[in-house]
């Protein structure tokens, strides 16, 4: 499992933030879960590997 120790701060307009939080809540997800998934998808799309990357079978790709 990834260590969740780093903080990412971003600025977003209040209306988008509210709409995003409402959509996340309606899907029973936290905004952090969704943002982490977006980042993983973006890295994968661009072929970027990272040390804590986990494969579908649960193995760490850096091993």
Q: pLDDT tens across 15-42, in order?
A: 999 999 999 999 999 999 999 999 999 9
Contact at 8 Å (CB) between 52 and 40?
Answer: no
The tokens of 1 are what?
A: 């499992």
| pLDDT given at position 24 | 98
Give the helix ranges, DSSP H, for 27-58. Answer: 31-45
Query: pTM (2 decimals)?
Result: 0.75
Which residue reads 């499992």 in tokens?
Answer: 1
CB atoms within 10 A of CB 34: 15
| pLDDT given at position 63 | 41
Which residue reads 């799309």 in tokens?
Answer: 45
pLDDT reading at 3 higher than 80: no
| pLDDT given at position 2 | 65
Higher pLDDT, 2 or 41: 41
């Amino acid at each position: 499992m990834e260590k969740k120790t780093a903080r990412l701060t971003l600025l977003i307009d209040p209306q988008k933030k509210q709409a995003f939080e409402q959509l996340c809540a309606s899907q029973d997800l936290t905004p952090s879960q969704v943002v982490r998934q977006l980042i993983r998808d973006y890295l994968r799309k661009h072929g970027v590997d990272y040390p804590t990357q986990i494969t579908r079978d649960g193995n760490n790709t850096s091993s």
